[in-house]
Amino acid sequence: MSVVEIVRFAVRGLIANRLRSLLTMLGIIIGIAAVILLTALGNGASQYIQGQIAGLGANSITVLPRQPPDTVGTDGRPLTQGDVRALADPQGAPDVASVSPVVSVQDTTVEAGRARTDATIIGSTPSYFPGANVQLGTGRTYTEADVTAGRKVVLLGRTVADELFGIGSDPVGRDVLVRGVPFDVIGTLAPAGQGQGLSNPDENVLAPLTAVQGSLTGFGDLTQIVVQARSTEAQAAAESEINSILDRRHGIDDPDNRDYQVLSARQLADVLDDTLGAFTLLLAAIAAISLVVGGIGITNIMLVSVTERTREIGIRKALGAPPSAILGQFLVESIILSVVGGVLGVAVGYAGTLVPLGDFRPVVLPSAVVAAVGVSAAIGIFFGAYPARRAARLRPIEALRRE
Amino acid sequence: MTAGLGTAPLEQVPHVLDVRKLSKVYGSGETAVHALRDVDLTVRRGEYVAVIGQSGSGKSTLLNMLGCLDAPTSGRYLLEGLDVADLDERQQAVLRNRQIGFIFQAFNLIPRTSALANVELPLVYAGVGRRVRRERAQAALSLVGLQGREDHRPNQLSGGQQQRVAVARALVTTPALLLADEPTGNLDSASTADVLGLFDRLHAAGRTIVLITHDDEVAERAERVVVVSDGRLTEAAPSAAELPPRRPGTARAPR
């Protein structure tokens, strides 16, 4: 009794009940398709966010002031130019390439003629452009001389330029009023695209630090400090140098109770990656439940099949089928159901990933495909074992007696 | 397989079947049902034996024992000299496959499967290769007069034809013993005559047949009849030997 014959019997048994076989398979198809699709979604989202974070500037580190958690009511020390100078000291912070003090004002009215819009005004130094990974579109960036002189010049984000001067326009040489103060437009920023990072750089207006301080914020504390590490590899070292310098300057003993926080794309990537990983796992677990339900469907149908074909089993046994042949026939039936269901499920899941969702596309993991087919075969064996054993153990006399 | 009976002395002919003090009890204690009590039966090679009895007499139980479909409570059963009790489930399956051909009242063909595939089935379990299998199944089908019907499914065949497929299936492994359980019970008179004629031919060709029936007319075709009644087995007097005493007058031949 060869394997080929057992498979032939199994296929014949399945074809005899086409609709039922198909419906049973459907449980596995849905389960496997769900696993493939959901892991692909998680994977696609993860790749998309990684790409977005790389766009933020992989070497960029942002220092923000914050309320220390343990000192209720008392503000921490603000970030100052003194902090900037300390961080820029190559002895204390050898892994830091540049330090840019930043002041920013959100929701500021910018006008050009009769057009007006709200934008975030960011005042900094020329090192901010590489430091925060901001690309120039047209015109020029402001210079160290502009900062020193406090010249009222601005670079407009693409959205701001579009709203004030028309879509695709080049406003270099024109004037704008920032909260009533006239500024010369010297350039525009390259479009960054919707939703890059946490705020939209297309809605920013960049100006020299001193000009923003002189006309909008006053010469007080900094909103943030942007630090650029020497390289992506040096980022972790740069972060710890920043921490030790600022801890000393701000008199911090407890790292949990700092009055500032250090953010980097790397940290953001790690956090998002962890979150997404957990989320993907959750989705896959839910999909796995549907797979188990599909497997139980196989057990159910195979039990029905064994009961329904009790007489046939009896005939086969009377004709000399050994228990192993009966076991094999029913086991192979359930394996075929689950493996064919698994392959179809992979196909359905893959077809599902071709539908783009928002900004990102799901990415099917080859390992998930291999695992899905392997798991479906295992489901066939596991959930088919009990019915097949029951068939094999039927006593021929009792099986034959059944009408 | 036909040589034995004619040429060898009777004592050397091995018994195909040798049943000694076979009992079968269903249940236990007060509710125990003694389906068979101390049955002895031997069948020689080439014999055509009919087992008759009322329904509930235990004849079906006997057939199940003889077919290795059920195990006796006590007693010994030798099939081709082999003690069946010594065999495990797998070995019994092999024994059924090689030594016994079953013919059932309800035909018991596999539904939705062609006549040829039904006849091939025992050969599949015997591990016979595809080509040989096909040839032997075709030969068996033509032996029962069904050549040209190989691809018909059971539901496309008449009752008589289905039973002939079943006979072909029983024959195809050239078993030592053909076991028929009420083979004509579901057939009309024409098909009954058909199938019984087939049995006569198989008997003439030297096959060993044990046939169970409650129909005396069917039993008359056999060369030997045993009666099962209340789980006990008695040998019916040979019909030929029965004749003279019944009509004593005819014995007096005219002088």
Matching residue, tokens 């900037």? A84
Among the CATH numbers 3.40.630.40, 3.40.50.2000, 3.40.50.300, 3.30.930.10, which is that of B10-238? 3.40.50.300
Are B125 and A396 within 8 A, CB to CB?
A: no
Nearest-Cα residue of chain A relative to residue B63: A397
DSSP string, B85-134: GG--HHHHHHHHHHHEEEE-TT--PPTTS-HHHHHHHHHHHHT--HHHHH
B70 touches chain A (CB under 8 A): yes
B97 touches chain A (CB under 8 A): yes
Are A400 and B113 within 8 A, CB to CB?
A: no
Non-local CB neighbours of A307 within 8 Å, separated by 6+ positions: none
Q: Give the type of residue at A43.
A: N
In chain A, residues with a C-beta closer than 8 Å to the C-beta of B64 are 397
**Domain residue ranges in chain B:** 10-238
Are A318 and B121 within 8 A, CB to CB?
A: no
Chain Cα centroid distance, residue B154: 22
Interface predicted TM-score (ipTM) over 0.90: no
- Of the candidates B11, B12, B13, the residue with the CA atom closest to the CA atom of residue B206: B13
In chain A, residues with a C-beta closer than 8 Å to the C-beta of B73 are none
Distance from CA of A25 to the nearest CA of B (A): 22
Condensed to tens digits (0 to 9), the pLDDT of residues A225-280 reads 999 988 877 888 899 999 999 999 988 888 888 889 888 877 777 788 888 889 88
Mutate to test the interface with A, among B97, B107, B113, B178 (most CBs of A within 10 A): B97
Handedness of CA A19, A22, A26, A27 (dihedral sign): positive
* Alpha carbon distance A293, A288 (integer Å): 9
In chain B, residues with a C-beta closer than 8 Å to the C-beta of A314 are 108
In chain A, residues with a C-beta closer than 8 Å to the C-beta of B112 are 12, 16
Matching residue, tokens 């069904």? B146
B132 touches chain A (CB under 8 A): no
Condensed to tens digits (0 to 9), the pLDDT of residues B126-175 reads 999 999 999 999 999 999 999 899 999 999 999 999 999 999 999 999 99
Condensed to tens digits (0 to 9), the pLDDT of residues B82-111 reads 898 889 989 999 999 999 999 998 999 998
pLDDT at A104 over 70: yes
Nearest-Cα residue of chain B relative to residue A325: B125
Distance from CA of B42 to the nearest CA of A (A): 22
Non-local CB neighbours of B52 within 8 Å, separated by 6+ positions: B59, B212, B213, B214, B215, B216, B219, B225, B226, B227, B228, B236
Q: What is the pLDDT of residue A72?
A: 60
Q: What is the mean pLDDT of residues A340-368?
A: 87
Q: What is the mean pLDDT of residues A30-55?
A: 84
pLDDT at B244 over 70: no
B129 touches chain A (CB under 8 A): no
Are B90 and A324 within 8 A, CB to CB?
A: yes
Distance from CA of B229 to the nearest CA of A (A): 22
**Which of B109, B112, B122 is closest, CB to CB, to A320?**
B122
Non-local CB neighbours of A162 within 8 Å, separated by 6+ positions: A168, A169
B64 touches chain A (CB under 8 A): yes
Nearest-Cα residue of chain A relative to residue B111: A312
pTM, to two decimals: 0.71
pLDDT at A359 over 80: no
B79 touches chain A (CB under 8 A): no
pLDDT at A75 over 70: no
Q: What is the pLDDT of residue B201?
A: 92
In chain A, residues with a C-beta closer than 8 Å to the C-beta of B133 are none
Q: Percent of chain A beyond pLDDT 70?
A: 95
Q: What is the pLDDT of residue B253?
A: 41
- Of the candidates A69, A129, A104, A142, the residue with the CA atom closest to the CA atom of residue A221: A104
Are A318 and B102 within 8 A, CB to CB?
A: yes
**Which of A16, A323, A397 is closest, CB to CB, to B69?**
A397
Distance from CA of A276 to the nearest CA of B (A): 53
B113 touches chain A (CB under 8 A): yes
